[in-house]
A and B are shown apart, each in its own frame.
Chain A
């Protein structure tokens, strides 16, 4: 089995062309980053607002926990059954899956952002106001930079969630590396399934490491020292 899997992985024919590993990887990345951006566009502002004002705190605290209990596969099927009959056009098959990807990515980003803002040293916040910063200046100059490590952690775990869910979303017709897993099973081609799995795992590891690098670059060295000491 191992031999066949590697044979499949090493066969150039499986890499190139439409539906090849490269094309599917790119599709997978495209969906994933699109979903991450959309989720961040919703979750980061809300998280900042909750953290800055302290309002709706219970929502941010409980949301991640509650969402973790919901099985993504079930939600995916529900979304497709509900939405597919109502959608038309070329995105009709992809939209329900993408919506689920975005929904599932919101809680980790939201709670990470909220927790990051909350973790700002109250003395630093007090000093910032006392020096004459407006609320927006406190948020932008003190709370956001301080929250960055946890915002980035939230984005990273959201991204893992997205890549995993995008993989299983192949069952409802989404492109990406999940195709090899689902199509391989349909055609009882284990080498294709296993090869696709290895590719997906490698992609997830790679993306996570890239985001880790971004995190390193984005976070002030002053905060690194603080966490190390």
Chain B
């Protein structure tokens, strides 16, 4: 027991939280990669794509959780609502960063790759994408941290994860579970953040050369 919460419960809720925040992170990345690439590629697609996706971010999360059953035809308690909402937020945050990431690839590098005979798709995957990794992972870290925080709000519509500790504590007028829940959320966010930072380092060995950037 910690703060009136059984370790087992805490573990279960943390796993649920990781699932609800983490899976959308991957889904969102898969969607924003092509979107961001499109935005970086064409000047006149950039404004609508970037502005359109960031518009999603203006919708308050609780409102989005409740509105999605209208569109998806799901039940209000369905995990799918939270997964889809979090994916949308991830796309909203990441599309701009992915576009910036692709935009940060030096033109001369791209031209050299094309001159050596890379096809467009192959060049994007094996030259542009690796070089855009530092910028994209920076955005991914922001999205991960904010996802973990937002997911907890889903407790208000009864989807279980660490946020349940908040409502539970509040209803029983008990500070313990709330504090445990907040701390668990922060630890989860920091861990995800560090994991992505580590992954980024592994993916970009050329940035580690002794002298630094």
Task: State yes or no: do A and B touch (Cβ within 8 Å).
Answer: yes
Give chain A's interface residues, CB within 8 Å of chain B: 1-2, 5, 65, 68-75, 77-78, 80-82, 160, 163-164, 167-168, 171-172, 178, 181-182, 185, 190, 193-194, 196-198, 200-201, 204-205, 208
Chain B contact residues, CB within 8 Å of chain A: 55, 57-64, 66-67, 69-70, 73, 76, 142, 145-146, 148-149, 152-153, 155-157, 162-163, 165-167, 169-170, 173, 175, 178-179, 181-182, 185-186, 189-190, 193
| Residues of B close to A197: CB separation below 8 A | 62-64, 66-67
Q: How far is the CB of B77 from chain A (nearest CB, A)?
A: 11
Q: Which residues in A have their C-beta under 8 angstroms from that of B193?
A: 69
Which of B62, B149, B169, B190 touches A71 (beta carbons < 8 Å)? B149
Are A194 and B153 in contact (CB-based, < 8 A)?
no
Inter-chain contact B62/A181, CB cutoff 8 Å: yes
Q: Smallest distance from the beta carbon of B99 to chain A beta carbons, Å?
A: 15
- Residues of B within 8 Å of A181, CB to CB, are 62-63, 66, 156
Given known A-B contacts A69-B186, A74-B178, A81-B173, A200 and B63 have beta carbons under 8 A apart: yes
Contacts of B63 in A (CB 8 A): 167, 181, 196-198, 200-201, 204
Min Cβ gap A116→B in Å is 18
Contacts of A71 in B (CB 8 A): 148-149, 152-153, 162-163, 166, 181-182, 185
Q: How far is the CB of B61 from chain A (nearest CB, A)?
A: 6
Asked whether, in the complex, the Cβ of B146 is within 8 Å of the Cβ of A68, the reply is: yes
Our pick among A69, A78, A80, A172 for the contact of B145 (Cβ within 8 Å) is A69
Residues of A within 8 A of B55 (CB): 205
A-B residue pair count with CB separations less than 8 angstroms? 126
Q: How distant is B212 from chain A, measured CB to nearest CB, in Å?
A: 19
Contact B185–A5 (Cβ < 8 Å):
no
Q: Is the interface of B mostly helix, strand, loop or mixed?
A: helix
Q: B170 to A80, Cβ gap below 8 A?
A: yes
A-B contact pairs, 11 of them (CB 8 A): A65-B145, A69-B149, A71-B149, A72-B149, A74-B182, A77-B167, A78-B182, A168-B153, A197-B62, A200-B60, A201-B59
Option from A65, A69, A168 in Cβ contact (under 8 Å) with B62: A168
Report how far A74 CA is from B63 CA in the complex, Å.
18
Contact status of A74 and B152, CB under 8 A, knowing A68-B146, A69-B186, A160-B57 = yes
User: Which listed residue, A1, A68, A73, A163, touches B60 by the CB 8 Å rule?
Assistant: A163
Q: Which of B58, B60, B67, B152 has the most CB of A within 10 A?
A: B60
- Using known A-B contacts A73-B156, A185-B157, A205-B58, determine if residue A78 contacts B179 with beta carbons closer than 8 Å: yes
Q: Are A69 and B60 in contact (CB under 8 A)?
A: no
In the complex, besides A74-B152, A164-B62, A194-B69, 15 extra interface pairs with C-beta distance below 8 angstroms are A1-B70, A68-B149, A70-B185, A71-B153, A71-B166, A74-B181, A78-B179, A181-B62, A185-B157, A190-B69, A197-B62, A197-B64, A198-B67, A201-B67, A205-B58
B64 cross-chain contacts in A, Cβ below 8 A: 197, 201
Bound complex: CA A179 to CA B179 (Å): 25
**A182 in contact with B181 (CB, 8 Å):** no
